Amino acid sequence: MPETKNIDTTYHSLTLSEVRPLTADSVMLTFNVPPHLEALYRFEPGQYLTLRTNIEGKRVSRCYSICSPIDSGDISVAIRQVEGGQFSSHAVNHFEADEEIEVMPPMGHFKLSPRRDGETVLISKLYVGIAGGSGITPIMSMITTVMKNEPSSRFVLFYANRSEQSMMFRDELTSMLAAFSGRFFCVPFFSEGAESEQLIHHAVASTLNNNTSSIASTDRPGIPVQIKTLLRELPDLSRADSWHLCGPQGMTDTLQQVLIDNAVSAGCIQRELFTADTQKSTTNKLDKNTQSEAGSQIKVIFEGESIEFRLSPKDDFVLNEALKIRDDLPHACQFGGCGTCKAKIVEGSATMRDNMALEDEEVEEGYILTCQATPTSPVLAISFDE
Ligand code: FES
């Protein structure tokens, strides 16, 4: 479990130095980090930034993975517009260079950590990344960092997309294939939804088993014509030092199982789920056994001030309802993954739907992820200040 005790949730205003379209529905945002904030915004490949901006009079925040390599002097994120995604739609359609955006320092535990002393590293590792759609973003940072900082290491990328046109970083990946021949390998798949996920599962398992004939002989759409050559050219994936999965939960759940079934150690597998960008994604499924029909009285303390409201069983999680009154409460992912919304129970009790961020010890001390919290007592008082 990640450590959340020292998360810095302070926003700083950063200027957008570039807004570059990647595909018809995605952009890359590059931020200018002033010298006095450089140390704060140093990151490891795979981490993310939480961005906040005003949309239709309300502050809205979302987190997006960093796609730039470390030590490049830039810090960039890539955003794909998702259906109903308030922030992503605004970013793709309205952000412009020179605009100021509020940005939290980098965070996240999905990371690959080569030395960051500006010198190349004389180690020889084999990394594998598996990305679905915009899941390429953190893996892009890993690939470019490894190519630059570890000249003896190799990186294999399996990358699923709806089509070649919807492929983020297509030109950059093509250039890297030419520049880093023998070190960087990319196996693309183009297909809709679950179909492409099945193809990747099959390709990864086939390659691990050194038996690519079945996938090579298939004529299913979405399989690159050169798949046989591609798969045969790959290094021996069973010797990979680490696997990094980023995509929809269903895809990464199955992939993780495929890897474990094929003798990959669980300790070598890291995965990152997509950040939800729709308000619907955190719709609460209240347990009727844990909350009375009358609901609960909620008290939230933040920066020495408190707000109070009633939460009924049909309402959303504590954080989402509290944000309607105070939109500056600390939060980022809103799916229980980052720990930014951690608060301590000072009265009453609550339950969490998902917790991928708090240590057992923190839960025992009374901390909850407010974005996942439902009260289980008539009164629930929580403090973000403890
Ligand atoms: S906002 Fe990330 S865990 Fe709640």
Residue 359: φ, ψ to 5°: -70, 155
pLDDT of res. 113:
66
Helices (H), the chain: 86-94, 136-149, 170-179, 193-208, 213-217, 227-233, 249-261, 318-323, 360-364
* Geometric angle at alpha carbon 85, from 138 and 330, rounded to 5°: 70
Q: Which two tokens stand for residue 352?
A: 């969490």
pLDDT, tens digit (0-9, with 9 covering 90-100), for 146-166: 999 899 999 999 999 988 899
Residue 154's alpha-carbon distances to 145, 240, 261, in angstroms, are 11, 9, 24
User: In which residue ranges of the chain is CATH 2.40.30.10 found?
Assistant: 12-103
Pick from 278, 375, 276: nearest CA to 319: 375
Q: How much distance in Å is there from the Cα of 261 to the middle of ligand 1?
A: 31
pLDDT, tens digit (0-9, with 9 covering 90-100), for 357-367: 888 889 999 99
Q: 155 with 184: CB under 8 angstroms?
A: yes
Continuous segment of H or E residues that includes residue 19: strand 12-23
pLDDT, tens digit (0-9, with 9 covering 90-100), for 66-97: 999 998 888 999 999 988 888 999 999 999 99
Atom of ligand 1 nearest to the CA of 337: 3
DSSP string spanning 121-157?
-----EEEEEEEGGGHHHHHHHHHHHHHH-TT-EEEE
Out of 7, 335, 374, give the residue to mutate to test ligand 1, the one with the largest number of ligand atoms within 8 Å of its CB: 335
pLDDT band at 292 (very low <50, low <70, confident <90, very high): low
Mean pLDDT of the chain: 86
Q: Which two tokens stand for residue 224?
A: 């690159």
Out of 63, 272, 316, 331, give the residue to mutate to test ligand 1, the one with the largest number of ligand atoms within 8 Å of its CB: 331
Enumerate the β-bridge partners of residue 185. 156
- Which of 59-73, 134-148, 199-213, 235-249 comes out lowest in average pLDDT? 199-213
Q: What is the pTM of this model?
A: 0.81
What gap in Å lies between CA 141 and CA 276, rounded to an integer? Answer: 21
DSSP code of residue 291? S
pLDDT of res. 369:
95
What gap in Å lies between CA 311 and CA 302, rounded to an integer? Answer: 18
pLDDT of res. 215:
67
The answer, yes or no, to whether residue 247 has pLDDT greater than 60, is yes
pLDDT of res. 2:
47
Atom of ligand 1 nearest to the CA of 319: 4
pLDDT, tens digit (0-9, with 9 covering 90-100), for 108-120: 888 886 555 555 5
The answer, yes or no, to whether residue 133 has pLDDT greater than 80, is yes
CATH class of the domain at 279-383: alpha beta
Q: 48 with 111: CB under 8 angstroms?
A: no
pLDDT of res. 209:
84
User: In which residue ranges of the chain is CATH 3.10.20.30 found?
Assistant: 279-383
Q: 373 or 213: whose pLDDT is higher?
A: 373
Half-sphere exposure of 346 (CA within 13 A, CB side): 13
Residue 261's alpha-carbon distances to 202, 234, 238, in angstroms, are 12, 20, 12
Q: Is the CB of 136 under 6 A from ligand 1?
A: no
The answer, yes or no, to whether residue 287 has pLDDT greater than 50, is no
Q: Calculate mean pLDDT across residues 316-326.
A: 92
User: In which residue ranges of the chain is CATH 3.40.50.80 found?
Assistant: 126-273
What gap in Å lies between CA 61 and CA 335, rounded to an integer? Answer: 13
pLDDT of res. 221:
64
Atom of ligand 1 nearest to the CA of 339: 3
pLDDT of res. 288:
43
pLDDT of res. 280:
38
Amino acid at 119: E
pLDDT of res. 277:
43
What gap in Å lies between CA 107 and CA 3, rounded to an integer? Answer: 11
CATH 2.40.30.10 fits 12-103, yes or no: yes
CATH 3.40.50.80 fits 126-273, yes or no: yes
